[in-house]
Chain A
Amino acid sequence: MNVSSLHEAPPLVVHAAIAAALGLAGLVAVALAEPAFALQGWLAAAFALSAVPIGALGLLLMHALTGGPWQRPLAPILRACCGTLPLFALAFLPVILFPSLLYPWAGSGADDPAIAAKAGYLNPVFFALRTVVYFAIWIALAVLAAGRADAGGARQPGTLAAGIGVILYATTVSFAAIDWAMSLDPRFSSSAFGMLVGICALLAALSFAIPAAAWLGSPAMRAAADDAKVRAALAGLLATGVLLWAYVSFMQYLVVWSGDLPEEAAWYLDRVAGGWMVVPWAVGLLLGVLPVAALCLPAGRRSLQRLAAIAALIFVMRVIEAVWLVLPSFPLESWLQPAAWAAAMLALGAGTFAALLWLWALGFRRGQQEVTQHG
């Protein structure tokens, strides 16, 4: 199974679409009983998974500025990821329509004087408007990043446009992180949070694109990605991403620990309460220590398959960590909640994956047509 055969026999797309439909059915069933539970899961899934197209956009823009051999084999996947941005814009529609089900500043907590003091920024209308603006900017940047094919067949935006794009990108991603995830606990504030989520987005896109190229890519794409220089560059980028993530998330923790203020400690206490305690340990070991050790040892970079396995581990742990940034803010009231969260993850994950495969195959066919026309 590889992407070149997708338009003839698309079993993976069909399976993903069926899984998405099942997840959506379960989610709708929960939503009829308890809409807040369904929306909680939906927000967590949308926040965790939108990191892939957002990060893909960042990688494409940054590559236009820095260059490097790593981008060429991944570019078709990264562009297909960017193509799912409109889907995620739609996915955030229920979130901006019903913020009162999720955010204390829009619902039960709005009368609290400490939260009411932030109402100039944290209010439903401005929140919805901001999310619309973020997606408008990202989709415009994605069109820019897709670029026009030049004579050599390479697609790349100009340096000036990409430079302005990267600045816009970093600002919007940081604000989006504050709006979607950090404002779940309106008393908590961490100046590192936006940067943390931004780094995580780049890491999510990279750790998604590498296994996708290795396991689903056409033979030519796999061969291009298995070049020793490309492998070394990808391993270096992954290790850099993981180290940056580890540094910023530990610094945030250290600052909160040193400050020792109740409203900031509460955010961490929610996230180590009960079973959630497993997540920081698992993430520290499987997203921090293990990938860095594996990427630093020569054995970890020896083949594309090994690199893809490490990247897949990073991707899975990244999704778990992103979910952990969101869901512990909601008190656990019913067994329906975990079921709704899982259904939402399945619906949005499988649905956007199916769309991504379809876009990728479309891009592949268009690329082939361009090759035949030029050749």
Chain B
Amino acid sequence: MMRTEATMKAEEWQGALVAEFAEPDALVTALRRAREAGYSRIDAFTPFPVEGAAEALDLREGWLVWVATGGFLAGGALGYLMQWYLNGVNYPINVGGRPLAAWPAFTLPAFEIAVLFAVFAAIAAMLYVDRLPRLNHPLFELERFGLVSRDRFFLAIAPTDPRFEAEGTRAFLAGLGPARIDQVPR
């Protein structure tokens, strides 16, 4: 089964082999070749979203949709409840004889709050998956990994991968034509 960064422990990357590429296309090609070769505990690190990389990694973060949906429903319910409490209970004002619990008037603000909560939920889920309270990652040990936020593209294969062999995997990565190969210290 495919394991991606989101479902792997950070410690799994200790001892990983990391190939550095200068071009995004080379990275996508390398990802596809690695998948074809049977590697499953791999990940890509790029300075910007690379088209085709998610497909090459077979990333299907389908659950994120449901987190956003949950946020949407919770926000909508909260939005209605807040307006109902304010206008109907806490500070009731009779506006031309219209009902105090005026659902037509409440709908647009409730919808806006629902969208806001959907986005909040999705961002919070992303930060959780990014392991936010933890501030470092084993790959940070590599001196050149800092370039991942500038102009370099990295492919990492974790040593916990069933197909991982210290020499064989290094030779495989070399065959992909990377700029260089590094190993994360254990």
In the complex, residue of chain B having the shortest beta-carbon distance to the beta carbon of A246: B111
Which residues does chain B contribute within 8 Å of A370, judged by CB atoms?
Answer: none
Which residues does chain A contribute within 8 Å of B104, judged by CB atoms?
Answer: 253-254, 257-258
B90–chain A nearest beta-carbon distance, Å? 22
User: Do residues A298 and B108 form an inter-chain contact, with CB atoms below 8 A?
Assistant: no
A267–chain B nearest beta-carbon distance, Å? 15
Asked if A297 is an interface residue, CB under 8 A from chain B, the answer is yes
Which residues does chain B contribute within 8 Å of A250, judged by CB atoms?
Answer: 107-108
Pick the contact of A296 from B60, B62, B65, B105 — CB < 8 Å? B65
Interface flags, B45-81, vs A, CB<8A=1, else 0: 0000000000000001010010000000000000000
Label chain B's interface by main secondary structure.
helix
Which residues does chain A contribute within 8 Å of B98, judged by CB atoms?
Answer: 258, 260
User: Do residues B65 and A260 form an inter-chain contact, with CB atoms below 8 A?
Assistant: no
Which residues does chain B contribute within 8 Å of A258, judged by CB atoms?
Answer: 98, 104-105
Interface flags, A198-239, vs B, CB<8A=1, else 0: 000000000000000000000000000000000000000000
User: Do residues B105 and A297 form an inter-chain contact, with CB atoms below 8 A?
Assistant: no
Known: A260-B96, A260-B98. A254 touches B62 (CB 8 A): no
User: Do residues B65 and A254 form an inter-chain contact, with CB atoms below 8 A?
Assistant: no
**Chain B count of residues within 8 A CB distance of the other chain:** 9
Which residues does chain A contribute within 8 Å of B107, judged by CB atoms?
Answer: 250, 254
B69–chain A nearest beta-carbon distance, Å? 8
Pick the contact of A254 from B60, B96, B105 — CB < 8 Å? B105
CA distance A298 to B65 in the complex (A): 8
In the complex, residue of chain A having the shortest beta-carbon distance to the beta carbon of B64: A298
CA distance A331 to B60 in the complex (A): 54
Which residues does chain A contribute within 8 Å of B65, judged by CB atoms?
Answer: 296-298
237-292 of chain A: CB within 8 A of chain B: 250, 253-254, 257-258, 260
A32–chain B nearest beta-carbon distance, Å? 45
Which residues does chain B contribute within 8 Å of A296, judged by CB atoms?
Answer: 65
CA distance A257 to B108 in the complex (A): 14
In the complex, residue of chain B having the shortest beta-carbon distance to the beta carbon of A260: B96
Which residues does chain B contribute within 8 Å of A254, judged by CB atoms?
Answer: 104-105, 107-108
Interface flags, B83-107, vs A, CB<8A=1, else 0: 0000000000000101000001101
CA distance A250 to B105 in the complex (A): 10
CA distance A260 to B60 in the complex (A): 49
Interface flags, B149-166, vs A, CB<8A=1, else 0: 000000000000000000
Which residues does chain A contribute within 8 Å of B108, judged by CB atoms?
Answer: 250, 254
CA distance A334 to B62 in the complex (A): 53
B77–chain A nearest beta-carbon distance, Å? 15
Pick the contact of B62 from A253, A257, A260, A298 — CB < 8 Å? A298
Interface flags, B20-43, vs A, CB<8A=1, else 0: 000000000000000000000000
B101–chain A nearest beta-carbon distance, Å? 13
A295–chain B nearest beta-carbon distance, Å? 12
CA distance A250 to B62 in the complex (A): 31
Which residues does chain B contribute within 8 Å of A298, judged by CB atoms?
Answer: 60, 62, 65
CA distance A296 to B62 in the complex (A): 12
CA distance A366 to B68 in the complex (A): 48
CA distance A152 to B163 in the complex (A): 49
B128–chain A nearest beta-carbon distance, Å? 21
CA distance A250 to B65 in the complex (A): 26
Which residues does chain A contribute within 8 Å of B62, judged by CB atoms?
Answer: 298
Which residues does chain B contribute within 8 Å of A260, judged by CB atoms?
Answer: 96, 98
CA distance A29 to B60 in the complex (A): 59
Which residues does chain A contribute within 8 Å of B60, judged by CB atoms?
Answer: 298
Of the A-B pairs whose beta carbons lie under 8 Å apart in the complex, a sample of 6, sorted by A's number, is: A254-B108, A257-B104, A257-B105, A258-B98, A297-B65, A298-B65
B residues contacting A by CB (< 8 A) are 60, 62, 65, 96, 98, 104-105, 107-108
Given A254-B107, A258-B104, A296-B65, 16 extra CB contacts under 8 A: A250-B107, A250-B108, A253-B104, A254-B104, A254-B105, A254-B108, A257-B104, A257-B105, A258-B98, A258-B105, A260-B96, A260-B98, A297-B65, A298-B60, A298-B62, A298-B65
Complex A-B, nearest 6 residue pairs according to Cβ-Cβ distance, in ascending order: A257-B104, A254-B104, A297-B65, A298-B62, A260-B96, A298-B65
